[in-house]
């Protein structure tokens, strides 16, 4: 396994101080799969205070110190270095009650969730694979390290993580792991909304989200109980559309669509999604059926919603099998006709000067926009003012 220079530097500095650093988890898995690596996590056989001393000349961020993580900035890269850990007992299916540092790589690897996530790679490039992770990668299997039932009882988030990795990597969940995760699914209610939502997003964006959402509907419904009310066929159809979108937000909106915008909003609040995610998902569900018959209407939608949302709406409508209309044309070529009142070459003050007052001003600007956006009226000061004067006459 080859490491980027900044990771080699981190490993070398640790070595110079008598410590041993290993790349662990996702970066080893993704490298062996030939996939792009998100980020390199390092594990080290010394406690965090010692890690900090190794990097005396570097910027060190202490945010994860309690859990043994020291972040070191090397060549502008944040490198997370976590001390080998044993997780103490679990009493709440959520977080270990305590963590203890250990000099044993084996102990650190056996606390990890799945065999494909429990491999390490030392400075010399050799892979340490104590639980058959390479074989499981070969066979495309998600399998717990150790007894799956015990592992899901320790931390119920792993249930959703199994689904997430299966969806993202297009893997199957090994039989015993699958049975244990179903049996323990109810414990997901103890997990914080934020942790669940982070995993759900990755699941929804995964290449095989559709089969995972369908096969593990029971587990998904523990996280989103509102979905349990849907008839089977409707759920399956929504899961299918969702799974083909490859984007967390669009996929979520597709899954929530049969529930309607109001319930979608409730679900977002329960999952504590960020506001942008919630508002956009609700927007997509509300606007999915609007047909834009003329370019003017489409242009005003563009002005009102913004280009980003309109582009998402197009992808959403396309996934739902809706026909292209003027919105597609305007997004492809917005031209320079006005899309919102601010684009008009007259202002509220110009309109007020003609004698309009109060709400009449905004109404008149809107009337002008409708015609100018359609291309019926030039977006130039004199014709716009003339049109407004004519409107007074009416
Ligand atoms: P990604 O590329 O999506 O970040 P990852 O494998 O790095 O994938 P993370 O969630 O960043 O996933 O976790 C890093 C590693 O920490 C995992 O590979 C796994 O070894 C371990 N891990 C994370 N969460 C858990 C957990 N809940 N239980 C056990 N081990 C975990
Ligand atoms: Mg990671």
Confidence of residue 1 (pLDDT cuts 50, 70, 90): confident
Q: Quick one: which H or E segment has residue 351?
A: helix 348-353
Residue 176 has a pLDDT of 98
The answer to whether residue 278 is domain-embedded is no
Residue 3 has pLDDT above 80, yes or no: yes
**Does residue 164 share a domain with residue 71?**
no
50: tokens are 């010692």
Q: How far, in Å, from the CA of 25 to the mean position of ligand 1? A: 6
- Helices and strands per DSSP (H, E), number in the chain: 21, 11
Confidence of residue 394 (pLDDT cuts 50, 70, 90): low
In this structure, which residue's CA is closest to atom 27 in ligand 1?
158
Q: How far, in Å, from the CA of 60 to the mean position of ligand 2? A: 19
**Does residue 99 share a domain with residue 193?**
no
Atom of ligand 1 nearest to the CA of 164: 3
Q: How far, in Å, from the CA of 37 to the mean position of ligand 2? A: 9
What's the CATH code of the domain at 244?
1.10.3090.10
Atom of ligand 1 nearest to the CA of 25: 18
Residue 318 has pLDDT above 80, yes or no: yes
In this structure, which residue's CA is closest to atom 14 in ligand 1?
25
Residue 246 has a pLDDT of 97
Q: How far, in Å, from the CA of 3 to the mean position of ligand 2? A: 16
- Asked whether 157 lines ligand 1 (CB < 6 A), one says yes
Q: How far, in Å, from the CA of 66 to the mean position of ligand 1? A: 18
Q: What is d(CA 287, CA 195) in angstroms, rounded to the nearest whole number? A: 29
**Does residue 213 share a domain with residue 154?**
yes
Residue 339 has pLDDT above 70, yes or no: yes
SS3 content of the chain, % helix, strand, coil (to 5): 60, 10, 30
**Does residue 149 share a domain with residue 103?**
no
Q: What is d(CA 361, CA 356) in angstroms, rounded to the nearest whole number? A: 6
Residue 90 has pLDDT above 80, yes or no: no
Q: How far, in Å, from the CA of 165 to the mean position of ligand 1? A: 10
Positive or negative torsion for Cα 146, 152, 154, 160: positive
Across all residues in the chain, what is the average pLDDT?
95
The answer to whether residue 219 is domain-embedded is yes
Domain residues for the domain of 28 are: 1-133
Ligand minimally distant from the alpha carbon of residue 90: 1
Atom of ligand 1 nearest to the CA of 26: 6
Instruction: Please compute the mean of the pLDDT values over residues 222-232 and round it to a whole number.
Output: 97
**Does residue 66 share a domain with residue 44?**
yes
Residue 89 has pLDDT above 80, yes or no: no
Q: How far, in Å, from the CA of 195 to the mean position of ligand 1? A: 12
Instruction: Work out the percent of the chain whose per-residue pLDDT is above 70.
Output: 100
In this structure, which residue's CA is closest to atom 17 in ligand 1?
25
- Asked whether 25 lines ligand 1 (CB < 6 A), one says yes
**Does residue 87 share a domain with residue 5?**
yes
**Does residue 102 share a domain with residue 178?**
no
Residue 8 has pLDDT above 70, yes or no: yes
The answer to whether residue 352 is domain-embedded is yes
- Asked whether 133 lines ligand 1 (CB < 6 A), one says no
Residue 99 has a pLDDT of 82
- Asked whether 155 lines ligand 1 (CB < 6 A), one says yes
Residue 69 has a pLDDT of 95
Q: How far, in Å, from the CA of 161 to the mean position of ligand 1? A: 8
**Residues 90 and 97: beta-carbon distance below 8 Å:** yes
Residue 64 has a pLDDT of 85
Q: Quick one: which H or E segment has residue 101?
A: strand 99-101
Q: What is d(CA 290, CA 313) in angstroms, rounded to the nearest whole number? A: 10
Q: What is d(CA 61, CA 78) in angstroms, rounded to the nearest whole number? A: 9
- Asked whether 105 lines ligand 1 (CB < 6 A), one says no
Give the model confidence (pLDDT) of 196-211 as tens digits: 999 999 999 999 999 9
In this structure, which residue's CA is closest to atom 1 in ligand 1?
26
Q: What is d(CA 278, CA 193) in angstroms, rounded to the nearest whole number? A: 14
The answer to whether residue 282 is domain-embedded is no
Give the model confidence (pLDDT) of 20-70 as tens digits: 999 999 999 999 999 999 999 999 999 999 999 999 999 999 888 888 999
**Does residue 184 share a domain with residue 240?**
yes
Atom of ligand 1 nearest to the CA of 155: 27
Residue 63 has a pLDDT of 81
Give the model confidence (pLDDT) of 23-36 as tens digits: 999 999 999 999 99
Residue 290 has a pLDDT of 95
The answer to whether residue 74 is domain-embedded is yes
- Asked whether 112 lines ligand 1 (CB < 6 A), one says yes
What's the CATH code of the domain at 65?
3.30.460.10
Domain total for the chain? Answer: 4
CB under 8 Å, gap of 24 or more: what pairs does 305-309 form?
Answer: 307/331, 307/334, 309/280, 309/283
**Does residue 231 share a domain with residue 191?**
yes
- Asked whether 113 lines ligand 1 (CB < 6 A), one says yes
38: tokens are 């998100």
């Amino acid at each position: 396994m080859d490491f980027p220079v900044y990771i080699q530097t981190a490993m070398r500095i640790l070595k110079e101080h008598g410590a041993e650093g290993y790349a662990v988890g996702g970066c080893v898995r993704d490298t062996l799969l030939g996939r792009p690596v998100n980020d390199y996590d390092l594990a080290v056989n010394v406690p965090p205070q010692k890690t900090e001393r190794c990097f005396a000349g570097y910027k060190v961020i202490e945010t994860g110190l309690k859990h043994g993580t020291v972040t070191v900035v090397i060549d502008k890269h944040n490198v997370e270095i976590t001390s080998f850990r044993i997780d103490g007992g679990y009493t709440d299916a959520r977080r270990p009650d305590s963590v203890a540092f250990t000099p044993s790589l084996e102990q650190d690897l056996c606390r990890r969730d799945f065999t494909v996530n429990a491999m390490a790679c030392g400075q010399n490039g050799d892979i340490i694979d104590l639980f058959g992770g390479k074989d499981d990668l070969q066979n495309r299997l998600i399998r717990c390290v150790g007894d799956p039932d015990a592992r899901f009882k320790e931390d119920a988030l792993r249930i959703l993580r199994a689904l997430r990795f299966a969806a993202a990597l297009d893997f199957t969940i090994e039989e015993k792991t699958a049975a244990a995760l179903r049996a323990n699914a109810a414990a997901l209610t103890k997990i914080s909304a934020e942790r669940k939502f982070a995993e759900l997003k990755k699941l929804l964006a995964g290449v095989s989200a559709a089969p995972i959402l369908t096969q593990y509907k029971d587990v998904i419904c523990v996280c989103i109980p509102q979905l349990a009310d849907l008839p089977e066929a409707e759920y399956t159809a929504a899961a299918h559309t969702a799974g083909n979108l490859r984007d967390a937000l669009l996929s979520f909106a597709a899954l929530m669509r049969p529930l309607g915008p109001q319930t979608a909003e409730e679900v977002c609040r329960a999952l504590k999604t960020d506001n942008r995610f919630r508002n956009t998902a609700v927007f997509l569900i509300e606007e999915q059926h609007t047909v834009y018959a003329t370019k003017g209407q489409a242009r005003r939608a563009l002005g009102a919603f913004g280009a980003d949302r309109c582009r998402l709406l197009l992808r959403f409508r396309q996934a739902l099998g809706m026909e292209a209309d003027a919105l597609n044309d305007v997004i492809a070529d917005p031209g320079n006709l006005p899309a919102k009142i601010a684009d008009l070459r007259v202002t509220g003050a110009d309109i007020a000067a003609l004698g309009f007052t109060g709400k009449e001003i905004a109404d008149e600007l809107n009337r002008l926009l409708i015609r100018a956006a359609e291309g019926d009226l030039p977006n130039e000061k004199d014709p716009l003012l003339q049109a407004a004067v004519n409107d007074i006459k009416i």
